[in-house]
Amino acid sequence: MDTPKIKVLEKKIKRLTLLFILLLILSGITAFPLQTELNFLTDYFNLTTSPGLIALWITQVTTALNDLNQNYPFLAYGTDWLAFSHIVISLFFIGVYINPVQNNWVTKVGIVACLLVFPVAFIAGNYRGIPLFWQLIDCSFGAFGLIPLLLIHKYTHQLNSINKACL
């Protein structure tokens, strides 16, 4: 039964899922040219002469990455796999786009993954010496990812309730 309410919910779910897929792919793709991006950021904003904690941190990371890629370029292969994993994870959400009720488990796994960003950022970040402000930036990916996923979950639950009521 295609009621107007079902159509509206399906449209909202599709739009949010597509947005989530695109942002996940985009965040992954940006890991491929990491050295180029950091060099551009450092040069464009002249961070090597800028005061401040953020400028100092980005300059330090850029210097380390340039040194690493010059002397041990094979280690960048790890960020290539990071980028690839974002793309692979996004493929699971195609199922949510096609059939959100049947693939609600993917949405739930995505929600859990976004929540797990927080302990990983704080535990691993602290252990690796990542400044707190950068750990919070990393946490923002989990927080912003939660927004569309929680809405998708809510709309999917509403859609499922309507479908059950129509049976």
As a whole number of angstroms, the distance between CA 80 and CA 54 comes to 25
The number of distinct structural domains making up the chain is 1
Q: What is the pLDDT of residue 9?
A: 97
The structure's pTM equals 0.91
**Distance between CA 127 and CA 166 in Å, rounded?**
53
**What is the C-alpha separation between 32 and 30, in angstroms, rounded?**
5
Residue 80 identity: D
pLDDT in tens, the chain (167 residues): 568 999 999 999 999 999 999 999 999 999 999 999 999 998 888 877 878 888 889 999 999 999 999 999 999 999 999 999 999 999 999 999 999 999 999 999 999 999 999 999 999 999 999 999 999 999 999 999 999 999 999 999 999 999 888 87
Q: What counts of helices (H) and strands (E) characterise the chain? A: 6, 0
Whole domain around residue 14: which residue ranges? 4-166
The confidence score (pLDDT) of residue 49 equals 81
CA angle, residues 59, 60, 64, in degrees to nearest 5: 115
CB 87 within 8 A of CB 25: yes
- pLDDT for res 46: 85
